[in-house]
Amino acid sequence: MVEVEVCVGSSCFLRGSQEVVKAFQHLIEQNCPGQAVLKGSFCMGQCTEGVTVKIQGRQFCCVTPQDVPELFEKYILPHIG
């Protein structure tokens, strides 16, 4: 099970973390339902950098919904199946 955490702390929330969550949700449902789990996380201490995402313990900053497909392909799909 691949674990994807999206920061929903106040700073990331204001920068659109909900849209990032939706983008991940959509791709997971389409490609690997039940094989990746999406979680909200508290502040990860990168507030000035934009929305923070953690995939399998690896942290990514400044994530926008446009970045999600690439992150999905590179860091989630290889761990599926």
Contact residues toward ligand FES (CB under 6 A) are: 7, 9-12, 43-47, 52
Q: Is the dihedral of CA 27, 29, 33, 39 positive or negative?
A: positive
Q: CB nearest ligand FES: which residue?
A: 9
Of 44 and 77, which has the nearer Cβ to ligand FES?
44
Of 40 and 79, which has the nearer Cβ to ligand FES?
40
Cβ 4 to ligand FES shortest distance, Å: 15
Q: How far apart are CA 73 and CA 14, in angstroms?
A: 26
76: helix, strand or coil: helix
Q: How far apart are CA 23 and CA 17, in angstroms?
A: 10
Of 11 and 25, which has the nearer Cβ to ligand FES?
11
Cβ 37 to ligand FES shortest distance, Å: 19
Chain position carrying tokens 């999600």: 68
